[in-house]
Amino acid sequence: MRYCGRDFTEEEIAWIRQIIIDQPELSRKDLSILFCQTSNWLKPDGGTKDMSCRVAMLRMEKDGHFTLPPPRKKHTAPYKKIRTLWTIEQPEINKKAGEFSLELELVDKSGSALWNEFIDRYHYLGYKTLPGAQLRYFVKAEGQILALLGFGAAAWQTAPRDNHIGWDRATRKKNLHMVVNNARFLILPWVRSKNLGSKILSLASKRISDDWQERYNYRPVLLETFVEKQRFRGTCYKAANWLEVGETCGKGKLGNSEGEVPTKTVWLYPLRKDFRTRLSETS
């Protein structure tokens, strides 16, 4: 049975069920950490995948496999649409891309709410928590925010990407963490600058491997993104040397909701020449 990208055996589910009975004092967090440690379900940096495990266990409970202990803490409150003066629309900026001295600034805890607010206010998809390992950036020039980028976990499956790599299911499962999804890209609506998008993408592609290595202790080898066909043509990705490899079939990020999401073009950017070799390693 597959949950959160992992196949669970009947024996593992029976083990969880028995631990819940034998150790009722364990919290949901304790239970997920114990399972990850016992089954060696780990992230590339060696930490346990307890967050994914908790989501998987909630879905198992919903499917009737067992009853989890009651939550110890209240659920995190849903995102509230915050509107502050920091994100109000600014006077129009008209410059050539080459006139900007651009810098990418990693979003830290102090800037997280501001990034969220900009995205929720001006991006057509709004704000949603990025899944899994992630990095977010402000794109600035002379201290002024011009654009925002967000990178997170790759889609579980998408045929155009997987065919381009030459993946089978087992190899994809093992190496998916080395693909990073450009989940959000927003140039603020008052910024008018031809070729600015492709320049920003080029800067990000040169930097993200080092930043990912510093935070997560491994280097991704491929970037992906999905461009909604009815809204955009992907011009800035093409200009930044990303490769269009096909279209989705409307199944969503997890590949389980066919027909419920818009068709998107799939774009890839290799972060190293031997990306196929690295993504095809099985040992």
What confidence category does residue 66 fall into, taking pLDDT thresholds of 50, 70 and 90? very high
- Average pLDDT over the chain, rounded to whole? 91
- Tens digit of pLDDT for each residue in 121-177? 999 999 988 878 899 999 999 999 999 999 999 998 999 999 999 999 899 988 999
Q: Which two tokens stand for residue 36?
A: 């990850």
What confidence category does residue 251 fall into, taking pLDDT thresholds of 50, 70 and 90? low
β-partners of residue 102 are: 141
- Tens digit of pLDDT for each residue in 223-239? 999 999 889 999 999 99
Which domains are assigned to the chain?
Answer: 2-62 (no CATH), 85-279 (3.40.630.30)
d(CA 29, CA 63) in angstroms, rounded, equals 20
Amino acid letter, residue 267: W
Name residues whose C-beta falls within 8 Å of residue 71's C-beta, 6 or more positions apart in sequence: 28
Given this model, what pLDDT does residue 46 score? 82
Given this model, what pLDDT does residue 252 score? 58
- Tens digit of pLDDT for each residue in 35-55? 999 999 988 878 889 988 999
Given this model, what pLDDT does residue 259 score? 52
Among the listed residues 135, 221, 209, the one whose alpha carbon sits nearest the alpha carbon of residue 177 = 221
Indicate if the pLDDT at residue 32 is higher than 80. yes
Query: For 24-38, 76-90, 204-218, 244-258, which range has the lowest pLDDT when averaged over its residues?
Result: 244-258
Question: DSSP characters for 144-164?
Answer: EEEEEEEEEEPPS--HHHHHH
d(CA 128, CA 199) in angstroms, rounded, equals 25
Average pLDDT (253-276) is 81
Question: DSSP characters for 58-107?
Answer: HHHHHTTS--PPPPSSPPPPPPP----GGGS----EE--GGG--EEEEE-
